[in-house]
Copies of this chain bind each other. A is one copy, B any other.
Amino acid sequence: MAASLHQRIRGDIEDRIRSGTWPPGHRVPPEHELMAAYGCSRMTVNKALSLLADAGAIVRRRGAGSFVSTPHPHIESVALAIPDIAHEVASRGWRYAFRLVGRRLRAPRRRDAGEVELAGSGKLLALQGLHLADGRPIALEDRLIAVDAVPGAVTAAFDSEPPGSWLLQRVPWTRAEHRIGAAGADADAAALLEVEPGTACLVLDRRTWRGEQPVTRVRQRFRGDAYDLVAHFEPGLR
């Protein structure tokens, strides 16, 4: 496991921050001191400190020095795991299955700017399906696929493999946007999810692009009693 020198320097500093020995705002020794302490060149020290700064663990100010960061949650963001449902279900020890419950090839609704943009000059493949854990519905998925972007989709079955996985292997995306909210289940969704109408659901909307071309848009409604998303945050410490 022989770590490189700049990794060791970085690790030593991270340890001091984690343990609280160097609290937020504390001054990190200047590069020339670390050079002497570790007996290495300035580039090596600089790399360790630059990476720490890049990760947000410290702040470097030219002419002034380097300082341990003070977290500031107004702007901070956290790493949220957006689950691949099949993977998530399997990791909890349940049997995963997908059931397709609806499928249409149609034109975009002209009122819905998002649909028009997604469709481009082509049509949309609209899919509806259920994600099941041990046979129990856990999430309802409504998906639109741009046929322009994914011609193969019209001939794919989707009767057991969820469209998300199918797409992933054929159309690698380069950009995604997620929106997370809560809403009561409408009558149709409630019936499919086997809950009372109005039951609170976690709603995850995801839009995906490849380059500038929109690829797919999906709304997944999770039974609120069965699903959580989890996020951790430590500023810049590995």
Chain A residues proximal to chain B, CB less than 8 Å: 17-20, 23-25, 43, 51, 54, 70-84, 87, 164, 168, 172-184, 198-203, 210-213, 222, 224-225, 227-235
Contact = CB atoms under 8 A, between A and B. Distances in A.
22 contacts: A19-B211, A20-B174, A23-B172, A51-B54, A74-B84, A75-B81, A77-B81, A78-B80, A78-B82, A80-B80, A82-B233, A175-B233, A175-B234, A176-B232, A179-B228, A179-B231, A180-B180, A182-B183, A182-B201, A183-B200, A198-B198, A200-B201
**Across the A-B interface, the 4 shortest Cβ-Cβ residue pairs:** A20-B211, A182-B224, A200-B200, A182-B182
A71 B174 CA distance: 7
Contacts of A51: 54
Contact of A182 (B78, B84, B200): B200
How many copies of this chain are found per oligomer? 2
Given A182-B200, A230-B178, A172 B71 contact: yes
B54 A74 contact: no
A188 to B, nearest CB: 16
A235 B172 CA distance: 11
Contacts of A24: 172, 174
A230 B228 CA distance: 16
Contacts of A79: 77-80
Given A71-B172, A80-B78, A173-B71, A233 B178 contact: yes
Contacts of A232: 175-178
Contact of A178 (B54, B183, B231, B235): B231
Nearest to A80: B80
Contact of A77 (B17, B19, B80): B80
A84 B20 CA distance: 24
